[in-house]
Amino acid sequence: METPAYAPRPPALKRGRRRALISLTPLIDVVFILLIFFMLASSYLDWRAIDLNSPAKAATGASAEGALLVEIQSDGLRLAAEELSLDALALRVAARLREKPNQRVLIKPADGVSVQSTVDVLDRLKAAGAANMSLMRGGQ
Amino acid sequence: MHFQQPRPKNDDERILPLINVVFLLLIFFMLAGKLSSSDPFTIAPPRSASEAFVDAHDLVIALGAQGQLAFDGALLDEASLKQAVADRIKDETSLRIWLKADSQSDATQLITVMELLEAAGVDRLKLLTVPAPMEGTAG
């Protein structure tokens, strides 16, 4: 250092900044390490949630009768053994819900169907107004 | 025109703008991110149009693309998962349970896990998703 840090300031340099007593370099090192830690350790996913219901819990008594059964196969969707597209299925379910607002819908994915396809169908039916949906295992 | 920058006298003053930026970045990452324990395997969550926000993760059960199950950061099989969850919710009944499933995992297995958790006494189960991109087919 050319001058001691605590030397009295010359009056001409009144606006000048006070010199730091401690070097900032170690501070920056620590801040960089913290920055990298937070960048790597945090997750930035925007989580949402959907309800999962199984028929065992939702069903009280014999209400499985009269429920719409939507089967998700790896090659398409079936409503009561009739093959349909997702749009047609949503229309059909929406029409049914107009008659019977509390219509139960059972969704039965086949083996090998991914969670994403199932979630797509759940989303679509929810948008069509279905509130009472349950997931059902294929083997039942 | 000719501007003359006053030259800083020492190194510290020269890197002050850098420190300011790094501090801002640090604060941004601290506030924007959420610290959470990582899962034992990678999970690509399914996309959905659901609007329900997730406020707190109480118990998270992870289901991987190959059917692996994990709870509390440990890989478990179905029987021990059921046991572990039952033990945990015995003391605290108000816990919320989240299922974090990979989008490519088998839906049949998801339902198997769902039934297993119900048998363990789980009252309300939710599936974690991420919002679909804007140009997606949702809705």
The CATH number assigned to the domain holding A68 equals 3.30.420.270
Whether A34 shows a pLDDT value over 80: the answer reads: yes
Range of the domain at B72: 47-131
For residues A69 and A1, what is the distance between their CA atoms, to the nearest angstrom? 82
Number of domains in chain B: 1
- What is the per-residue pLDDT across B12-62, written as a single tens digit (0 to 9) for each? 778 888 888 999 999 998 888 877 777 778 888 888 887 777 777 678 888
Mutant choice from A73, A115, A118, A121 vs B, greatest count of B C-beta within 10 A = A115
Whether B83 shows a pLDDT value over 90: the answer reads: no
Angle formed by the axes of helices A115-127 and B107-119, nearest 10°: 80
Is A48 among the domain residues?
Answer: no
Is A81 among the domain residues?
Answer: yes
pLDDT at position A99 is 85
Range of the domain at A92: 55-135
Mean per-residue pLDDT over chain A, rounded: 77
Contact residues, B window 22-51, toward A, CB-based 8 Å cutoff: 22-23, 25-26, 29-30, 32-36, 45-51
pLDDT band of residue A39 (cuts 50, 70, 90) is: confident
Is B90 among the domain residues?
Answer: yes
* 8 Å CB contact between B48 and B54: no
Is A1 among the domain residues?
Answer: no
CATH of the domain at B116: 3.30.420.270
Q: Is B10 helix (H, G, I), strand (E, B) or coil?
A: coil
Is B8 among the domain residues?
Answer: no
Contacts of B64 in chain A (CB under 8 A): none
- Within a 13 Å sphere around the CA of B87, how many CA atoms are in the beta-carbon half? 8
pLDDT band of residue A9 (cuts 50, 70, 90) is: low
Is B139 among the domain residues?
Answer: no
Is B40 among the domain residues?
Answer: no
For residues B20 and B97, what is the distance between their CA atoms, to the nearest angstrom? 41
CA of B102 vs chain A CAs: smallest distance (Å): 7
Helix intervals (H) in B6-133: 11-14, 16-32, 78-91, 107-119
Number of domains in chain A: 1
Is A7 among the domain residues?
Answer: no
pLDDT at position A62 is 43
Whether A61 shows a pLDDT value over 50: the answer reads: no
pLDDT at position A88 is 87
Mutant choice from B29, B43, B57 vs A, greatest count of A C-beta within 10 A = B29
By CA distance, what is A41's nearest residue in B?
B35
Is B120 among the domain residues?
Answer: yes
By CA distance, what is B18's nearest residue in A?
A28
Is B20 among the domain residues?
Answer: no
User: How far is Cα of residue A120 from the mean position of the Cα atoms in its chain?
Assistant: 13
ipTM value: 0.72
Is A18 among the domain residues?
Answer: no
List the one residue out of B32, B65, B46 whose CA is nearest residue A41. B32
Is B113 among the domain residues?
Answer: yes
- What is the per-residue pLDDT across A79-105, written as a single tens digit (0 to 9) for each? 877 888 888 888 888 888 888 878 888
pLDDT band of residue A33 (cuts 50, 70, 90) is: very high
Is B121 among the domain residues?
Answer: yes
pLDDT at position A22 is 75
> Of A3-7, A53-57, B8-12, which range is least confident?
A3-7
Whether A5 shows a pLDDT value over 70: the answer reads: no
pLDDT (average), residues B72-101: 83
For residues A136 and A122, what is the distance between their CA atoms, to the nearest angstrom? 12
- Within a 13 Å sphere around the CA of A100, how many CA atoms are in the beta-carbon half? 11
- What is the per-residue pLDDT across B94-137, written as a single tens digit (0 to 9) for each? 778 888 888 888 888 888 888 888 888 887 888 888 887 765 44
> Of A15-24, B9-18, B28-37, B77-86, which range is least confident?
A15-24
* 8 Å CB contact between B29 and A42: yes
Whether A130 shows a pLDDT value over 70: the answer reads: yes
